[in-house]
Amino acid sequence: MKISILGAGAWGTAMAIALAERHDVLLWGRFESEMRPLIERRENPHFLPGFALPDNLRLSFSLDEAVAHVAGAGGDALLIVATPVAGLRPLSRQLRGKPVPNLVWLCKGFEEATGQLPHQIVAAELGSDLPVGALSGPSFAQEVAQGLPCALVMASESAALRQLGVAGVHGGNIRVYSSDDVVGVEVGGAVKNILAIAAGVSDGLGLGMNARAALLTRGLAEISRLGLALGGHAETFMGLTGAGDLILTCTGSLSRNRTVGLELAKGKTLETIVAELGHVAEGVNCARAVCELAARLGVEMPIANAVAGVLFGGVAPRDVVGRLLARNSKEESA
């Protein structure tokens, strides 16, 4: 199968490494200056250092070349977008008028300015007739590049694209399930990043494992409430892209969003943390959008609101903990 991956960050590079073992893969990056080290050193020194790029992996900074790589393959091809959510709209605009085949995205989050999910962004920019879908699940780029096992979900309303996505990605140490619940899969992948910041704050303040367990459980309730309000399926939130991704991102040492929370608990400013991180932490970018959307829908999300208060409202992390604990008791299923 021919596959072009658009976006040479950590996740795009890791997927390219994994899929190049079985497919004809091209990895595209936007700028020549960023792609030159990959071409010359056969390594991504900034986003994924220490992992050699397979000899058969093609590299390019020409979007036309990346699209042409898959456009001539008929139905047996995938165009995978691996940019952050903030880059999805501008890239989609660049794809207008090009022979775009089956389109799949890896990004997780709500667009900060509009509050839209990835499928809404793509539909607005490229129309609703294109076969599209989301590939998501609990997966750290470093472990995928290392060849360690992981499980993902290929979500699309198109049964043909689900089948093609599974055929392209499933294999080796990657197991892929399928789902028609694009909204549920996207909501789980987005909101868990916000909750991972909360988990990092909790761990950074030394609040203990009991607190973390409560945070994950009530965080899952927030994901489910928002997802159901947007049309997602209840069972999705108990699966890989709900509970699974939440557990990984809130507890794993490789989680960028959890790292943001740990550093906030130390008293660092958000600006300093983001600068030191050097990577996108999607929970920061979509926290405000999620809270505004939840407010419009009348969905209660106290943990997400607390995170937004720390990130943008000048609220001290320890003060937020006190406010959450002081909330009135309620039925657990509410």
Taking alpha carbons only, the member of 314, 309, 305 closest to residue 267 is: 314
**Residue of 2, 98, 108, 192 with catalytic role:** 192
pLDDT of residue 325: 86
Mean residue pLDDT of the chain comes to 96
Split at pLDDT 50, 70, 90, the class of 82 is: very high
What is 183-325's CATH number, 3.50.50.60, 1.10.1040.10, 3.20.10.10, 3.40.50.11690? Answer: 1.10.1040.10
Q: Tell me: the pLDDT tens digits for 100-152?
A: 989 999 999 999 999 999 999 999 999 988 999 999 999 999 999 999 999 99
pLDDT of residue 306: 96
pLDDT of residue 56: 97
Domain ranges across the chain: 2-180, 183-325
CATH of domain 2-180: 3.40.50.720
Residue with tokens 């079985």: 22
Beta strands across the sheet bearing 132-136: 58-60, 24-28, 2-6, 77-81, 103-105, 132-136, 150-155, 174-179
pLDDT above 90 (res 72): no
Catalytic-residue membership of 268: no
Q: Tell me: the pLDDT tens digits for 300-334?
A: 999 999 999 999 999 999 999 888 988 888 888 76
Distances (CA, A) of 103 to 8, 75, 182, 295: 17, 11, 13, 32
Split at pLDDT 50, 70, 90, the class of 73 is: confident
